[in-house]
């Protein structure tokens, strides 16, 4: 039995239990070998091929038609999904990959399996590529054999095989496949590795791909140990959900060695499902953010999120949360208000002390511009918002975003009286209890 079919047979029990077996099908040699061998192993009726049209080539339409013809010949159902990909030479490949996986996540249901045609040469190329990007054990683990995707799982049954075995299978069965000319363009890093570097490695070490795959397996084991240690350390740091993002105790983090601190930071980001930080971002936390004085407001940002510190805690915030700034507006508290920065403001009736509101009363929502003062309920005198925010320990990055509530009136805006600040306090003279009292809630957590 050809090695390709042996690999499929080795996963037969798992595939037979799947609700639906999908197969990523570009029409190239790798995916066509996988499709042909999967039909031979499972039967055409068990498979749905997924072709993603990235619209990056003038031949994209013809490729979709080719895939349809191949699937008809094999008796396989085909879904074609068209996606939009931004054409940027430095990131088109990654953007196209993200678009593919978005489709996969939308399509797969619980119990479904997606087959992809990655092989041992792809594994070697991936590990080399990540090595040159300063990756640690997690990145150098390479391409996983299986993992979750959306509600389902993906499986790469041909990953242990060199591409030469796929080529031999294609010749044996006289398969017809697509050749994408962009795969020869060495402007892309992966293509450069494939066409310029790996052939030289193969001349010196014919089994270099197998060697790299073995090293990737060792890195995977090391990464699993790192994750286990990070989980132990992380559970001592009192993670807390915040109004925006999450936080952990700095005292516990400071007690760890630098290596374990970095390990915990990466683990924490992965736990929250955010894009992992690079080496330099993690080192910036260790070298700059953690040693900063209590009067400083250090920030370390990367495309997946932000780290900030305040009040002896380290905060993990989502990416892009500060791009939209809330705008002033009118609000009828009978319905929740969605703010421009994804925050929400709502008012719920309460039998206790709360903001006194009349039926149908409109309020004006504004945000701090400087110089505002008020007198929280129960205090002897008024204070500036700046001082009160410090007292109430509101995170500095939220102080310009917390909604300020004013009575709606025809009076000049500068003469309007502040009646409440978010859900932190109600101002003196505007509180009530019983039928007309409302408890305010301000939420900006987008994680």
Residue bearing tokens 């990909």: 85
**For 131-147, what is each residue's pLDDT tens digit?**
998 888 989 999 999 99
Identify the sign of the CA torsion 62, 118, 33, 99.
negative
Residue bearing tokens 């087959």: 115
Predicted confidence (pLDDT) at residue 90 exceeds the cutoff of 50: no
Domains of the chain: 3-220 (3.40.50.620), 236-318 (3.30.465.60), 329-443 (no CATH)
- Determine the average pLDDT of the residues in 356-363: 86
**For 324-339, what is each residue's pLDDT tens digit?**
777 888 898 888 988 8
Predicted confidence (pLDDT) at residue 261 exceeds the cutoff of 70: yes
- Determine the average pLDDT of the residues in 233-254: 95
Phi-psi region at 330: left, alpha or beta (left = phi > 0; alpha = psi -120 to 50):
beta
Q: Which is more confident, 180 or 8? A: 8
Q: Which of 61-65, 224-228, 341-345 has the lowest mean pLDDT?
A: 341-345
Give the pLDDT of residue 55.
85
- Determine the average pLDDT of the residues in 337-349: 85
Mean pLDDT for all residues in the chain: 90
């Amino acid at each position: 039995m050809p090695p390709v079919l042996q690999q499929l047979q080795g996963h037969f029990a798992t595939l037979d239990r799947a609700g639906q077996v999908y197969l990523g099908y570009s029409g190239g040699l790798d995916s066509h070998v996988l499709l042909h061998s999967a039909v031979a192993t499972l039967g055409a009726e068990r498979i749905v091929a997924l072709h993603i049209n990235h619209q990056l080539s003038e031949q994209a339409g013809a490729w979709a038609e080719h895939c349809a013809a191949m699937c008809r010949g094999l008796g396989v159902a085909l879904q074609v999904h068209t996606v939009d990909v931004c054409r940027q030479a430095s990131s088109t490949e990654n953007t196209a990959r993200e678009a593919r996986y978005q489709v996969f996540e939308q399509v797969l249901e619980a119990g479904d399996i997606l087959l992809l045609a990655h092989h041992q040469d792809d594994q070697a190329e991936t590990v080399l590529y990540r090595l040159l990007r300063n990756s640690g054990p997690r990145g150098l683990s390479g391409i996983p054999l299986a993992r979750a995707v959306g509600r389902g799982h993906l499986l790469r049954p041909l990953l242990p095989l060199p591409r030469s075995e796929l080529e031999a299978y294609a010749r044996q069965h006289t398969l017809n496949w697509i050749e994408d000319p962009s795969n020869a363009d060495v402007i892309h890093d992966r293509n450069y590795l494939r066409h310029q570097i790996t052939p030289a490695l193969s001349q010196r070490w014919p089994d270099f791909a197998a060697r790299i795959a073995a090293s990737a397996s060792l890195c995977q084991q090391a990464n699993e140990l790192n994750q286990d240690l990070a989980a132990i350390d992380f559970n001592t740091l009192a993670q807390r959900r915040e109004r925006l993002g999450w936080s952990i105790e700095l005292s516990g983090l400071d007690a760890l060695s630098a290596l374990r601190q970095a390990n915990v930071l990466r683990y924490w980001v992965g736990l929250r499902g955010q894009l992992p930080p690079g080496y330099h971002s993690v080192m910036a936390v260790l070298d700059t953010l953690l040693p900063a004085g209590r009067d400083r407001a250090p920030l370390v940002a990367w495309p997946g999120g932000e780290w900030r510190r305040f009040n002896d805690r380290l905060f993990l915030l989502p990416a892009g949360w500060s791009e939209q700034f809330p705008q002033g507006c009118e609000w009828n508290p009978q319905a929740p208000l969605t703010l421009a920065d994804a925050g929400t403001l709502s008012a719920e009736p309460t039998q206790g002390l709360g903001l006194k509101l009349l039926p149908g009363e409109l309020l004006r929502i504004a945000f701090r511009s400087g110089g505002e003062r008020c007198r929280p309920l129960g205090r002897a005198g008024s204070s500036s918002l700046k001082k009160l925010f410090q007292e109430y320990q509101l995170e500095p990055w939220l102080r310009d975003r917390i909604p300020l509530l004013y009575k709606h009136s025809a009076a000049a805006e500068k003469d309007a009286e502040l009646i409440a600040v978010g859900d932190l306090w109600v101002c003196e003279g505007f509180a009530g209890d019983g039928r007309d009292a409302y408890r305010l809630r301000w939420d900006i957590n987008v994680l």
